[in-house]
Amino acid sequence: LERDYILLLGICAMTMLKRWAARARDNHRKGSDLERRVKRILESEGRPNVRTNVLLKDKNGNLSEIDVMCGYRFIPGSQLYIECKAYKKGNAVSLDAVSKFKEVLLLNGIPLHRGLVVTTSHFSPRATTIGVTTVAGEELLSWERASAKSSTRRRRIFYSLVLVLAAIVSAK
């Protein structure tokens, strides 16, 4: 009987571990999807040097990962540092999560106005009051639509210039 009990416990533990691993893979995939989505938005806005999963070393020698970053370090004021939180609707991004990102910015000497926390859900009320810009689900959709429009406008301008240049070259 004791042996059967131990076997049953082992089976239950394995089942729980498999479920936990599947949930962890799903959460990682959702986070990566949001990072790629934000990267596409920034690229369609014409932001330079957009990268994901950038490691920064702070003044104490600790490494921190920035989900999405754009701009050049050698051009002051061109950088944007973004933390992505892919939460289910109804789950708020906490003050702790935003505070942790704020601390990463401060430890790396990055001005708070250069940091952005993006979520697919919403923020707890206090999380939006600590000096880091926050972008919640609906704002993210609006940002995405606006960047798509600006991207289309830029392409039209570019192709118009190409046509004008082609006409000039063919006229010679």
> Among positive and negative, which fits the CA dihedral 116, 119, 121, 126?
negative
pLDDT along the chain (172 residues), means of 10: 73 76 61 90 90 92 94 81 92 96 94 94 95 92 84 57 64 67
Output the pLDDT for position 97: 96
Output the pLDDT for position 11: 78
Output the pLDDT for position 81: 96
